[in-house]
Amino acid sequence: MSDQQHCPGFESNKSLSEVIVKCPGCGQEIELFSDETSKQVKCSNCSLLFDPTASEDS
Ligand SMILES: [Zn+2]
Tell me if 5 is assigned to some domain.
no
> What pLDDT shows up at residue 24?
94
Using CB atoms within 10 Å of the CB of residue 6, give its burial: 0 to 12 exposed, 13 to 18 middle, 19+ buried: exposed
CA distance 24 to 1: 35
pLDDT digits (tens, 9 = 90+) for 7-36: 666 566 567 899 899 999 999 999 998 888
End-to-end CA distance of the chain: 39
Say how many domains are in the chain: 1
Q: How far is the CA of 54 from the centre of ligand 1 (A)?
A: 15
Tell me if 38 is assigned to some domain.
yes
CB atoms < 10 A from the CB of 52, how many? 20
Q: How far is the CA of 49 from the centre of ligand 1 (A)?
A: 8
pLDDT digits (tens, 9 = 90+) for 37-57: 888 999 999 999 999 886 555
Q: What is the pTM of this model?
A: 0.61
Query: Which residues sit with Cβ closer than 5 angstroms to ligand 1, an ion?
Result: 23, 25-26, 28, 43, 45-46, 48
Structural domain that includes position 27:
16-53
Number of residues that this document lists for the chain = 58
